A = this chain, B = another copy of it.
Amino acid sequence: MQYQEAKEKFISTWGSLGTLWGINKAMAQIQALLFISTKPLSMEDIMIDLKISRGNTSMNLRQLMDWGIVTKVLVSGERKEFFTTEKDVQELARIIAKERSRREIKPVIKVLDEVSSIKNDGTEKTKELIKQTKALKELTDDLDTLMNKLVNQKQNWLTKSVFKLMK
């Protein structure tokens, strides 16, 4: 496999994986492109390389910046803007975990909490609803807490701290 093929394979795999971490294809592909680039890229560079429109590139870059994954960099002597992504995988994982927790998991926990707090009228079905949503709420809570703790360990969180304890 040559460079170009490998690059395309990486970008398309990462792109289709986007759904797994809750972002769209173009967004994931832009991030992937920046992730393996040796220098910051302009909007022009990105749209040409990925064969997507200017508008699409602009909107998805903004979203990546909202996530805190991509940042603008100033290249001296250049008028246009350039972009880079966080290059450290651990830091990247930390940002993503934090954002997903905030955007998706926390709101769900809130709903589960509300639902499991309805008045128990003593009927079978109400008891079941309360019991099951409470169990789900606790699990989600625990997973969210665990994820955030894992991800807040700054140094080698995964391999060092937890991982070995579980061997």
Contact = CB atoms under 8 A, between A and B. Distances in A.
A49 interface: no
Q: How many copies of this chain?
A: 2
B115 A6 contact: yes
A113 to B, nearest CB: 11
Contacts of A19: 19, 22
Interface stretch (A40-48, A56-64, A71-79, A125-133): A125-133
Interface of A: 1-3, 6-7, 9-10, 13, 17, 19-20, 22, 35-38, 87, 89-90, 93, 104, 108, 111-112, 114-115, 118-119, 121, 123-126, 128-129, 132-133, 135-136, 138-139, 142-143, 145-146, 149-150, 158-159, 161-163, 165-166
Given A36-B129, A162-B165, 11 more contacts: A1-B115, A6-B118, A6-B129, A9-B111, A9-B115, A13-B115, A87-B132, A93-B143, A146-B166, A162-B166, A165-B165
26 contacts: A1-B119, A3-B125, A6-B118, A6-B129, A7-B129, A10-B111, A10-B133, A13-B111, A13-B112, A19-B22, A36-B128, A36-B129, A36-B132, A36-B133, A37-B128, A38-B124, A89-B132, A89-B135, A89-B138, A90-B139, A93-B143, A143-B158, A146-B163, A149-B166, A162-B162, A162-B165
